[in-house]
Amino acid sequence: MHIYIYDYFLNQKKYDKIVAKIETRITDLGLQGKNCHVGPLKSLKSIVTEELKNNPTTIIAIGDNKTLNEVVNAAKDSNIIIGIIPIGNNNSIADTLGITDEDQACNVLSARLIERIDIGVINNNYFIANAKIATQGTVMEINGKYTIEPTGDGEVEIINLNTSTQNSKINPNDGLFEIFINVNQKKLMSSTNEQSFIQTNRVIINNLKHNQFLIDNAVEIPTPVEIGVIKNKLSVIVGKERGF
């Protein structure tokens, strides 16, 4: 049985048509299951925990990156297959998984092409794509062997699944994540973008200015953090045009 979890923001009137369209399409494809709507009295986590007791075959997150992240975190003790139907603007993960819009997402669910990918762990929270923090005051200790400290303003990005078009060699099945340090050096007349790139499977990061990590462009995590990776932990339904 499929469990469809509609995120809270889809209760807005402007999404009524899209939600109705998805429900119709799902029925047409013979993929109907239980529809659960997140509301003020029912959190996404409680819905997932409750529904997992009925041993469903698939949980489908309907929403954006944040919805998918919350579903993955709520279902982290199970090995259930997860799908996504993207709605809204913040859907870089769905794009990388080869799912561009709600119409195509229903077809992808019907084709049911399953891929196992690594998942990042940041202080017991899972992230699928990336975790970002400002470089100012950030110190990284890698595998307990050496420390890295950026010396300019910019961004540190921990990448598990690459959602941008750059760095095409990032592999979400290798049991490693990539640390990408992007520093913008401003000079008198111009500015240069200086980049560093390190692969590892464990890092401890502290930020002396108390900046927070932003995971999957959706959820904030306070520092210090320990980041690791679990190889091939997440089973996810992907499209043919996925970016890996």
> For the packed helices 16-28 and 102-111, what is the interaxial angle rounded to 10 degrees?
20
d(CA 155, CA 70): 24
Residue 169: is it exposed, middle or buried by C-beta count within 10 angstroms (0-12/13-18/19+)?
exposed
Residues 86 to 145 in contact with another protein, rule: CB under 8 A: 145
Question: What is the dihedral sign for C-alpha 236, 88, 122, 136?
Answer: positive
Q: Under the criterion CB under 8 A, does residue 147 sit at the interface with another protein?
A: yes
Which residue in 18, 52, 134, 198 binds another protein (CB under 8 A)?
Answer: 198
Look at strands 125-127 and 113-122 and give their pairing.
antiparallel
Q: How many of the chain's residues bind another protein (CB under 8 A)?
A: 18
Looking at the Cβ atoms of 173 and 185, the one nearer to another protein is 185
Tokens of 53: 């007791």
Looking at the Cβ atoms of 16 and 194, the one nearer to another protein is 194
Q: Under the criterion CB under 8 A, does residue 173 sit at the interface with another protein?
A: no
Q: Under the criterion CB under 8 A, does residue 187 sit at the interface with another protein?
A: no
- Bridge partners (DSSP) of residue 230 are 119
Stretch that binds another protein, among 79-87, 106-114, 181-189, 236-244 (CB under 8 A): 181-189
Looking at the Cβ atoms of 39 and 224, the one nearer to another protein is 224
Q: Under the criterion CB under 8 A, does residue 199 sit at the interface with another protein?
A: yes
**CB-CB contact of 105 with 118 (8 Å):** no
Q: Under the criterion CB under 8 A, does residue 196 sit at the interface with another protein?
A: yes
Give the single-character DSSP code of 104.
H
Stretch that binds another protein, among 12-20, 89-97, 192-200, 213-221 (CB under 8 A): 192-200
- Name the site residues for another protein (rule: CB under 8 A): 145-152, 154, 181, 183, 185, 194-199
